[in-house]
Structure 1
Amino acid sequence: MNEALTVRKTGQKTAISSTVNGGVPRSAYIHIPFCRRRCYYCDFPISVLGNKTDINTSAMIKNYVEVLCQEICATPALGQPLETVFFGGGTPSLLPVPYLKQILTVLSQHFGITSEAEISLEIDPGTFTEDQLQGYLQAGVNRVSLGVQSFDDRLLQICGRFHTQKDIFTAVDVIRRLEVPNFSLDLISGLPHQTLEQWQYSLTQAIIIAPNHLSCYDLVLEPVTAFGKFYQPGEKPLPSDEMTAKMYRTAQQFLTQAGFNHYEVSNYGQPGYQCRHNRVYWENRAYYGFGMGAASYVNLQRFTRPKTRREYYTWVEQLIDSQGKIDCSPTPSGDQLLETLMLGLRLAEGVDLSVLTQQYGEAILNAICQSLSPYSRQGWIEGIDQQGKKLDFKDINDFYRLKRIRLTDPDGFLFSNTILSTLFKNLSELECLEV
């Protein structure tokens, strides 16, 4: 098994404290499901349009946006304006500008959007024009995330991507000419047939482009995807576990030396350019989710919408009939603790132990200490005391002196699956976490 923590772009949430969990959502995720084709590694809920735009395609998009806006309007507004909005997919850059503007208008009218809100849009090379991107910016988008994945044409073809390296540079030129205020770029390592040299080349090209933010994901083999059916983890033509670990360390070395802060296991930002919306997930603050397959976390309740358009449309009709009531269950407190640790440890600053103590009591610290102290001795996790100094911990007496715990970079991040598996096993066995 690959020890490098595999990362999904969406769908992972956690809990930090009762105050945070019970807070009013100030973020919204909007799922735009349309794609030209399905990439061979993708298992997200999408609708494939093909290469042409015709009357039927236009009607499909129009209908989806109308239903999406109906869902937004049927969702109770809890009193706080949105501070982040994220359009994910799918390929949101296939959405005509008037429809994106319509969605933002409905969000603003129903929930409110602050003047300083981060409004992000995922875009793919070869799917938008300069006029189109200008329209997105005028509608309110102030952050774009370009789905590059690789700068190697052969690897792009192997992945089933729609674009080429030439399309990437064309897209970057448009982004630069329009002076997009916040620009992120995505790359994937561990691809079939990918070499270390190809990975280094992609990293080098990304550094030359100099976006404000970079996400470097390790390939995830989901069973329902083409890659999941074609390949087995650790077997050729996939890179070996040792090679994917080397790719991870190479990214960390290249990007931190280029001035990027490694603030999350797979994310790097120039100073001041961490993704505000994704931090909502990692810190488990409440958020709305809208659209086919989107997840939400409101009032300690999690809910994922149906993953096909037909089922989603039926569900929205039922939502309207039920006056905005969603049938879902609160997250058990034990699950909240495990999620707090899982996602909090993804961040470079780690987890605040005083928050855990306040929410779950001091007894839980002993179990956490017993689970993590072996990895402290291995140099994979470290403590931070009240004065901000690093402290290795061997027993509960050392642990009580800590304010925070965090994974080391890069080894702690790289072996986080092993660390978290031990932590989950030990904490799940505690009676205090039984529901």
Structure 2
Amino acid sequence: MIASPASAYIHIPFCRRRCFYCDFPISVLGNHQRGETSGTVESYVDQLCEEIAATPKLNEHPLQTVFFGGGTPSLVSVPQLEQILAQLDQHLGIDPTAEISMEMDPGTFDLEHLQGYLAAGITRISLGVQALDDTTLESCGRYHRVVDVYRAVDWLHQVAMPNWSLDLISGLPHQTLTDWEIGLFKAVALHPHHLSIYDLTVEPQTVFAKRYQPGDQPLPTDEQTAAMYRLAQALLTAQGYEHYEVSNYAQPKHQCQHNLTYWRNQPYYGFGLGATSYTQLQRVSRPRTLATYGDWVTEFQAAGGIHSEPPTPTLEQLLDRLMLGLRLKEGISGDEVRSLCDPATWNTLRSALNPHIAQGWVMLEGDTWDTLQRLRLSDPEGFLFSNVVLSDCFRAIDDLIDS
């Protein structure tokens, strides 16, 4: 039986400017426009609602999580946010206790906006801080400065925000281990309920890709970024945060429920430019520019909300499950792994993972493969070398497919 979606991701693509590391599908508004004053934003919100209305209702129960990502969702006006939530609730239903998250960048909202977003239904804020040093922020092309961070956090405390997260990036140009440690202590002192810690990836076609080669100065070396990862794990867990996912830490009862949907490979709706949905074992990606997205919505409406993509093959489901599930501290259940493996695939997977079990990066709960209850990575070393583990799994299974 195919599970029904209980989550929805909404992409808001607008930003003040494009950060130097960013390859997300965004549209730059400049330093002064926002949803209240931009016809582009207004038109996009209307198209977004048209896509929602045209999408077949597959969920058996109201949505349990909604996530507004971007881009910079805090550039939409309160009425525009209300319009999107009303369309979602009317068409798919939103549970009264649902986690409704919104990414917000310091410097793009004020206390009145924050109060309006909460009144509209937002229950969780993800604050895109990235660094707590002005020189580093400037070197990344960020719009905001540290003073904006502290003002935004003060507003979050004023409204007694029950659940908010803070994002940081490690491995930035000129960043030292001492810089990183100071930033972590500053972040913890702000008392977020949740922290997301991302290691810089130099993506093709970004400003950073034109300036730097990975591993070359002024970027930290691989050894230095590994030390930053270990330091964050030690410092944050000592402060009471659970390292529940490769890049995420949470106080008790403050894990991001929406993101757990992804990592557990559960179905979800995706709406908006560049968004991906995963329903009925199909992953469907939307176009990445405003013009092509608008045309796509028109065609989607004309087709009656039908996608033509075939279901994902079982071996690809297994690879997805490994890639996503091993990001979690809880890992993957043995029964689930077995359900996606025929005998040849099971033996191939065992052979690929056994060297990493010997290294201590992969853990078997249940002691042996025959009694496997859960498969997970160790913390921090297994998490740190997760790409190595997954690459070996993918290569072995690809060889099996080709044989």
TM range (shorter): over 0.9
User: Within 5 A, what are the aligned runs for 1:81-92?
Assistant: 81-92=62-73
* Kept after mapping to 2: 8 A contact 1:122/1:147: yes
> Structure 2: which amino acid aligns with 1:229?
K
Distance of 1:333 and 1:97 partners within structure 2: 43
* CA shift for structure 1 position 362: 4.6
* Partner Cα separation in structure 2 for residue 35 and residue 57 of structure 1: 14
In the TM superposition, 1:196-345 aligns within 5 A as 196-345=177-326
Distance in 2 of aligned mates of 1:139 and 1:417: 40
Q: Distance between the aligned counterparts of 1:320 and 1:91, measured in 2?
A: 27
Q: How many angstroms apart in 2 are the aligned matches of 1:359 and 1:188?
A: 35
Provide closer, same or farther for how the CA distance between residues 301 and 283 of structure 1 changes in structure 2, counting only shifts above 3 A. same
**Alignment partner of 1:68 out of 29, 33, 48:** 48
Residue 358 of structure 1: CA displacement?
A: 2.7
- Are the counterparts in 1 of residues 362 and 377 from structure 2 also a CA contact under 8 Å? yes
Corresponding residue of 2:332: 351
**What's the counterpart of residue 4 of structure 1?**
none
Query: What secondary structure is seen at the aligned counterpart in 2 of 1:429?
Result: helix
Q: By how many angstroms is 1:29 displaced?
A: 0.4
Q: 1:31-180 residue pairs with structure 2 within 5 A?
A: 31-53=11-33, 58-78=38-58, 79-180=60-161
Residue matched to 1:400: 370
Quick one: which amino acid aligns to residue 415 of structure 1? F
Deviation at 1:409, TM superposition (A): 0.5
1:213-257 deviation per Cα after TM superposition (whole angstroms, max 9, x unaligned): 100000011111111121111100100010000000000001000
Contact 1:49 1:57 in 2 (8 A): no
What is the distance in 2 between the residues matched to 1:76 and 1:159? 41
1:359 Cα deviation (Å)?
A: 3.6
- For structure 2, the residue ranges without an aligned partner over 5 or more in a row are none
Amino acid at match of 2:20: Y
Are 2:165 and 1:195 equivalent residues in the alignment?
A: no
Tell me the alpha carbon deviations over residues 172-212 of structure 1, each in whole angstroms, 9 at most, x when there is no partner: 00000001111000000000111111111111011111111
SS class of match (1:402): coil
**3-state SS of 2:267 partner:** coil
CA contact (8 A) 1:334 1:428 kept: no
Is contact 2:35-2:41 (8 Å) kept? no
**Aligned match of 1:371:** 352
* CA displacement at 1:57 relative to structure 2: 5.1
Name 2:389's counterpart in structure 1. 419
The 3 A distance-change label for structure 1 pair 82 and 54 is: closer
CA distance in structure 2 between the partners assigned to 1:381 and 1:281 by the alignment: 21
Unaligned segments of structure 1, at least 5 residues: 1-18, 386-390, 392-397
Does the 8 Å CA contact 2:35/2:42 hold for their aligned counterparts? no
Equivalent of residue 410 in structure 1, options 374, 380, 386: 380
SS in 1 for 2:255: coil
Secondary structure of residue in 2 paired with 1:399? coil
| Cα shift at 1:54 | 8.0
Q: Could you list the per-position Cα deviations for residues 326-381 of structure 1 after superposition, in whole angstroms to 9, with x for gaps in the alignment?
A: 23232121111111111111100111111221343454332222111111111111
Instruction: Go from structure 1 to structure 2 and tell me whether the alpha carbon gap of 1:205 and 1:310 turns closer, same or farther (over 3 Å shift).
Output: same
Q: Secondary structure at the match of 2:229?
A: helix
Question: TM-score, structure 2 length as denominator?
Answer: 0.97
Secondary structure of the residue aligned to 1:24 is coil
1:293 positional shift: 0.6
Q: Which has the higher contact order (CA 8 A, sep 6+)?
A: 1
Partner of 1:430: 400
Distance 1:54 1:240, change over 3 A: closer
SS in 1 for 2:373: strand
Distance 2:85 2:363 in 1: 43
- Read off the aligned partner of 1:280 and give its amino acid letter: T
C-alpha RMSD of matched pairs (Å): 1.5
Which residue matches 1:24? 4
* Residue-pair matches, total: 402
Distance of 1:356 and 1:303 partners within structure 2: 24
Q: Displacement of 1:402 after TM fit?
A: 2.0
Q: What's the secondary structure of 2:223's corresponding residue?
A: helix
Contact kept? 1:302, 1:329, Cα under 8 Å: no
TM-score by length of 1: 0.90
Q: Percent identity?
A: 54
Letter in 2 for 1:295: T
Q: Per-residue deviation at 1:145?
A: 0.2
